[in-house]
Structure 1
Amino acid sequence: MSEPTREVYAELQEAFSHFNRALFDNALPPCLITLQRERRTYGYFSCQRFVHQSGECIDEIAMNPAYFGVRPIPATLSTLAHEMAHQWQFHHGKPGRRGYHNKEWAQRMEAIGLMPSNTGEPGGRKVGEQMTHYIIEDGPFARACAQLLTAPFTLSWCDRFPPYCPTVPPPAPMGGIDDPAGTDEGGAAPAPPAWGGLITAPPAAPVNRSNRLKYRCPTCGAQAWGKPGLRLLCGGEQCAAAEFEAVE
């Protein structure tokens, strides 16, 4: 019987180690790769996010498995390399302010064979708050990825219910959300043939028939239920009358 947890993370670790050697001269320290379903993002980098009992801190690179089944493997792996560029800048460069992709990051992306573009197409801006990229033909990443895929390497598991049905046009390029170091690239291709009919459209969201919404204070987390359109203020001592936010 297979061990899917070991299998998934071993594949991502193998890809990280391969690109660290091929694109970064092994300059990146170990990181903890996680699977996270952040909305409208393919992945993100978070510096020094995890701490060991010994006191050692390491970075996190998160990958969104919801898109594994609707993107070709090179596109998914380019997300990993994109976040590795953020990790490189954190340890060896000067990151921009929160969420901003600066010139140093853009230059490093080009050096590894990923062209930064806010549209995901040629001619887009190379720096900014929300950035995407496209793979440079016959660039370092394209060659390193091809080398990896000539080995017995694949991504063995994907989400059966991706965010969109692969038989319809994919959504526009997306920026990351709540990403301390930057966002990830967007755009997508039809579902890779390897998955065939194994994936399907996401299940329909449940209909709220109660005509009530959940509201949450963004500061202390207090919750309340009420009709849509309410404006609720939190009376907590440290909340400074923070306005409750509707929770989907």
Structure 2
Amino acid sequence: MTNPTVQAYAELQAAFDHYNARLFDGQLPFCLITMQREARTYGYFSSQRFVHRHDKSTTDEIAINPAYFAVVPLLEVLQTLVHEMAHAWQFHFGKPGRRGYHNKEWADKMEAIGLMPSNTGKPGGARTGEKMADYAITGGRFMQATDELLTRKFSVSWLDRFPPAHHVDGTPAAVNEDGDELGELVEAGTRNRSNRVKYRCPICSTQVWGKPELRILCGGDDCDAAEFEAVG
């Protein structure tokens, strides 16, 4: 049986190595990649967070929140990783802004590697600020590197069966027809947060609304994790 710890962290390390080579010219030093359930964030960068017990060397941390793996597209997980890698680049080769502030140097680097910084996560948002999201630039370096990565059948294999009810931006992950949040989600396939599709369990007929191309498993006692079917 595959060791889930080894598999999960090896996948994140493989993505880091790929983007380091393609977007940062291999300049970024190794760091300690962790999975942290930090509330209301997809990830964070913490410089020199860890020290080696014996030789006293230090290393940075890039944390990724696994709670969202099941409710955001794989593309968004990879964007989060690269977003934090841009912070690592700025720490080692640039001049970071005050704690928590995303300054112009960071924004320029993000845009150069194919991610447009935006405080709204959409076109037209501010490029700098305290809390920043981003979106992939069509045809940009990030998308080119990601297309290459995905041709290698890259995946994030382990998903939280009981993910958060809301995304970082506050939108529900999935709701039923009464607007109640529910669902045992498996894999999202789109960044579209505005459209909603109705899904129905083929066993108990429970219905939920969620983003297009979701896969949802029913948590009913008699449904044996049956996959919901799109019905509208």
TM-score if structure 2 supplies the norm length?
Answer: 0.74
- Asked if the contact 1:71/1:191 (under 8 Å) is kept, the reply is no
- Name the residue aligned to 1:226: none
Deviation (angstroms), 1:101 = 0.5
2:168 pairs with 1:167: no
Q: Report the CA distance shift for 1:191/1:59 in structure 2 as closer, same or farther (over 3 A).
A: farther
Quote the residue 1:196 is aligned against: 215
CA distance in 2, matches of 1:41, 1:89: 20
Is residue 21 from structure 1 mapped to residue 21 from structure 2 by the alignment? yes
Alignment of 1:150-161 (within 5 A): 150-161=151-162
Q: Deviations over 1:158-185 (max 9, x none)?
A: 111111263349xxxxxxxxxxxxxxxx
Structure with the largest fraction of strand: 2
Please state how far the C-alpha of 1:188 moved relative to its aligned partner.
7.1
- Confirm whether residue 38 of structure 1 aligns to residue 45 of structure 2: no
Q: 3-state DSSP class of the match of 1:70?
A: coil
How does the TM-score come out when normalised to structure 1? 0.69
Q: Which residue of 1 aligns with 2:229?
A: none
**Distance (Å, rounded) in 1 between the aligned partners of 2:32 and 2:124:** 34
Name the counterpart of 1:47: 47
Q: Per-residue CA shift, 1:189-236, capped at 9, x if unaligned?
A: 56685x723487xxxxxxxxxxxxxxxxxxxxxxxxxxxxxxxxxxxx
Figure out how many residues of one structure are paired with residues of the other and give that number. 182
- Provide the aligned C-alpha RMSD in A: 1.9
Distance 1:162 1:197, change over 3 A: same
Deviation >2 Å, runs of 4+:
165-169, 187-193, 195-200
Structure 1 residues 192 and 148 mapped into 2: Cα distance closer, same or farther (>3 Å)?
farther
* Corresponding residue for residue 143 of structure 1: 144
Distance 1:192 1:12 in 2: 26
| 8 Å CA contact retained: 1:160, 1:198 | no
Q: Which runs of 5 or more residues in structure 1 are unaligned?
A: 170-186, 201-248
Classify 1:191/1:154 alpha carbon distance in 2 versus 1 (closer, same or farther; 3 Å): farther
